[in-house]
Structure formats: C-alpha cells, structure tokens
A = this chain, B = another copy of it.
Amino acid sequence: MERLPGFRDFYPEPLPSADAWSCDARQYIFDKWRTIAKRYAFREYDGPPLEPLELYTLKSGEEIVGQLYNFADKGERQVAMRPEMTPTLARMVSATERQYKKPIKWFAVPQLFRYERQQKGRLREHFQFNCDIFGEADVSADAELIALLIDSLRAFGLTENDFVIRLSSRNAWQDFYKQRITGEQPDAAQREYQFFQIIDKLEREKPEESEKKLAALGFSLKEVNDFIQSGAPTTELDSILKNLAARGLTEFVKIDYQVIRGLAYYTGVVFEAFDKKGDFRAIAGGGRYNNLVKLISGGKADLPALGFGMGDVVLLELLKARGLLPKFDAQIDFFCMIEDETLRAETLRLIQELRVQGNIVEYSLTPAKSDKQFKRAMELNAIHTMKLERGPTGALVGRLKNLKTREEKTIQSPEGLSGLN
C-alpha cells in the first residue's frame, strides 16, 4: 500500500533511500526554529489542522477553494485542511486578545496543506515556521520581526553570503500609484490590486507582457523600473534599516521594491528572504497585515499585526546545498555489552541507572557474540562501551571504553557504576 501523492514519510537516519525524507533533519530544523523564537520572547501556540472553509474564503475570496484540501465532513460542514496559519491565528487572537498584554509575540510550527489538481509530483503538505506580532503599529515591531527572521536563518550556519532579506513596502507602492492616478475611478480598488499583481510578477514575466498590462492601467514599464532602481527608502523603511543597523544586521537586508507579496491582505512593510545565489524559491516571506484581525473577528477586535512564514522544504534544500546539515545518528552515550549472560540482570540494572541519569543507552536485547555487539556499538557511533565482569573476589567490576579516545577505565564498586556519566 502506498501513501497518498504529495505527502511525505519521515524516516530516521541513516535513510533507507536517497529520496527519503529525514525525520532527524526535520526535528533539527524545528528545534532551531523554536530555540530562536524563544530567545526573542515569542511564545508557542497551535490551532486545529482542520478549519471551517469560510475562514479561508473570508480572507482570500472564493477563488482560494481551488487550491484547498477541502471537503464536506459527516456533519455536512464545509471544512478545509489549513493552507496557512494566519487565519487561525487571527481567529485565536481576536477571541482572546483582551486577556494578553500587548504586544502579543507568538510563533507556531504547523503542517499546512494544499491541493492543486494539475501539479503532479508537487508536495501537498509542508511545515512552516510562523512568527507574528499583534498590537504594535510602530515599525520597531517590523524590525524586531525581521531580526528574528535573520537570526532564525543564521542559527543554521547561514551567513550574509548565503541569504538576504529583500525589504519593500506596500505603502511606497501605494504612494507611487496615487501620485500618478488622480481623480475618481469607478473600479479604483480593483485596478490598484491589478497593479500590485503586475509588480509581483515583474521578475517572472516577459517585459513586453508587463509593459502591456501596465499601459492598460496608465503606467509605463520604465517609470516602474526607475522607481525600483532608485531604491530610496521611505521614512518607515529607513527607520527599520537604522534599527537593524543598531543590531549589527545591516549586511543581511536590502531595499528591493520588486518584492510586493502576491497576497492581497498586506498593508505596509513586506519582505522576503532569498538565497544569494538565486538557486531557490523564496525561503521566507512576510509583512504587515493590519486589517485582518478586524476582518476575521467581524469587527469585534482590531489590532495591528505583522508576521512571516518560513517553509521546511526550501530551507532543507538550501542547507543541503550549502553542506550545513550535521550528521544525524542515534547519539548513543553507552552501548552496554553483555558477554557473560549470567550478568544480564545486573547489566539491565546498570542500563536503567544510566538512563535515569539522562544517558542514551543501547544494548543487545538477546544473547549475541561479543564481536557482533561491539560492531553494533561502532555502527551506532556510540561514545562508550560498557560491560560488567566478575572480579577475582566475585565483586562486579565495570569496564568502560571511550570509543572516541580509546581510553579504558575499570570501575570497581557498584557505587562507582551508578556514578558514571
């Protein structure tokens, strides 16, 4: 029986095949994410992997349904497996924000799902590191969030030579748009949205195509490109750059107005993290979404908000390509060898004590030849082997060998045996 297309099994290392996904690498990534978010005093939350379909159509319109893993449940409810975390988060925050001191700084590591029929071979799930701040309109919050993003990537050994945060602003583009389009238009909001979509696709689309589409809205590609190339920071972007400079993070960020983020709900500063060689899709992306809490709560709550998401798939590819993944093994502290089966019970007692002390301990569950046990200890990359023997007086002695330094040690008393570490 096969797993469903687009889903992943995660195996312990050493991996059974070259294309298998590593659970060790996954947990390594999750641990780093959690560690760095906590240093920034972000707190962990989670929500259901299944939500009412309406939560997503409310935010993104009916057209999102084509990309969702949605269905009717046995109670005839229209539901969807979560494609992103922000709507769940906005729901959770708007229901409880009065109980929390502001700013609210939260993170999560959810598994997310999408179902696009046409894209065979593409993953239908991934994990995403989500960090968000609620209740702070000042750009100091944007800077704090971007610093967290930078440090999350540095935690894996990535440097300013590996990645850059491309920083932009919806407000800058809005000003650009409004300076040129004056007077009332019946479909103003929709035209502005179309304009943002063209900017978002600029890098991927042929210049002639962009030129044509921009012209239909009353713009030339040249004036758009001139604005991008000027790269002059707005007041708020300048403030963020200064804040990051104070932290010594200048090398990790640059203004780039080509970034605008496709999603309609962003309201201010937006940013994306890219590898510097340009080998991969965006590593992470985020920005301000000051209107979403009001929308999701039906007006009951209203809080400025911002956040970013970083997926596990592109990050893992990048870490592999840059040789930054550590070797994952069982990290065995002690492999307890049983050469004399009459000492199995005493060895089990020792194993128990070593484990209670916090050590990772392995041994052969059934009788096996000494050289086979030793070979297994080597395969597992164990730090020590340990074995019990009866000394000449009948007292137990422990023989400890450090497989890294080759150092050997004899432990005489049972008290000494339990004091090992």
A-to-B contact residues, CB < 8 Å: 1-4, 7-17, 20, 23-24, 26-27, 38-41, 43-52, 54-55, 58, 69, 71-75, 77, 79, 81, 88, 91-92, 95-96, 99-101, 103, 106, 111, 113, 115, 117, 125, 136, 138, 140-141, 144, 147, 151, 242-243, 245-249, 296-298, 330-332, 344-346, 348-349, 351-352, 355-356, 358-362, 365-366, 376, 379-380
In the bound complex, residues from chain B placing their C-beta under 8 Å from that of A358 are 39
Whether A99 contacts B330 by the Cβ 8 Å rule is no
Whether B243 contacts A348 by the Cβ 8 Å rule is yes
In the bound complex, residues from chain B placing their C-beta under 8 Å from that of A27 are 44
A10 CA to B48 CA, complexed, in Å: 9
A48 in contact with B12 given A330-B41, A346-B246 (CB within 8 Å):
no
Whether B345 contacts A4 by the Cβ 8 Å rule is no
Whether B50 contacts A366 by the Cβ 8 Å rule is no
A72 CA to B71 CA, complexed, in Å: 8
Whether B8 contacts A44 by the Cβ 8 Å rule is no
Nearest CB of B to A64, in Å: 14
Whether A141 contacts B365 by the Cβ 8 Å rule is yes
Nearest CB of B to A339, in Å: 16
A282 CA to B100 CA, complexed, in Å: 35
In the bound complex, residues from chain B placing their C-beta under 8 Å from that of A125 are 48-49
In the bound complex, residues from chain B placing their C-beta under 8 Å from that of A55 are 1
A39 CA to B113 CA, complexed, in Å: 33
A117 in contact with B1 given A17-B96, A96-B11, A111-B49 (CB within 8 Å):
no
Whether A366 contacts B41 by the Cβ 8 Å rule is no
- Of the candidates B3, B44, B52, B144, the one whose C-beta lies within 8 Å of that of A91 is B3
Other A-B contacts than A1-B52, A16-B100, A136-B366, 17 sampled, CB-CB below 8 A, are A1-B54, A1-B55, A1-B58, A3-B47, A3-B52, A4-B52, A9-B46, A10-B44, A11-B96, A13-B43, A16-B96, A17-B96, A23-B44, A39-B361, A49-B125, A50-B81, A101-B376
Whether B47 contacts A9 by the Cβ 8 Å rule is yes
- Of the candidates B14, B23, B91, B136, the one whose C-beta lies within 8 Å of that of A46 is B23
Nearest chain-B residue to A97 (Cβ)? B16
Whether B345 contacts A246 by the Cβ 8 Å rule is yes
Nearest chain-B residue to A243 (Cβ)? B348
Whether B40 contacts A355 by the Cβ 8 Å rule is yes
Whether A348 contacts B138 by the Cβ 8 Å rule is no
Q: Which of A72, A247, A297 has the most CB of B within 10 A?
A: A247
Q: Which of A11, A71, A360 has the most CB of B within 10 A?
A: A11
A356 CA to B150 CA, complexed, in Å: 12
In the bound complex, residues from chain B placing their C-beta under 8 Å from that of A359 are 39
Whether A344 contacts B1 by the Cβ 8 Å rule is no
Nearest chain-B residue to A50 (Cβ)? B4
A366 in contact with B92 given A44-B23, A48-B9, A115-B74 (CB within 8 Å):
no
Nearest CB of B to A288, in Å: 14
Whether B138 contacts A17 by the Cβ 8 Å rule is no
Whether B247 contacts A349 by the Cβ 8 Å rule is yes
In the bound complex, residues from chain B placing their C-beta under 8 Å from that of A54 are 1
Nearest chain-B residue to A335 (Cβ)? B41
Q: 23 A-B residue contacts at CB 8 Å? A: A1-B54, A1-B91, A1-B297, A3-B51, A9-B88, A11-B45, A11-B96, A14-B99, A16-B96, A17-B96, A27-B44, A39-B359, A39-B361, A41-B330, A50-B113, A74-B115, A75-B117, A103-B365, A140-B366, A141-B365, A147-B352, A246-B346, A247-B348
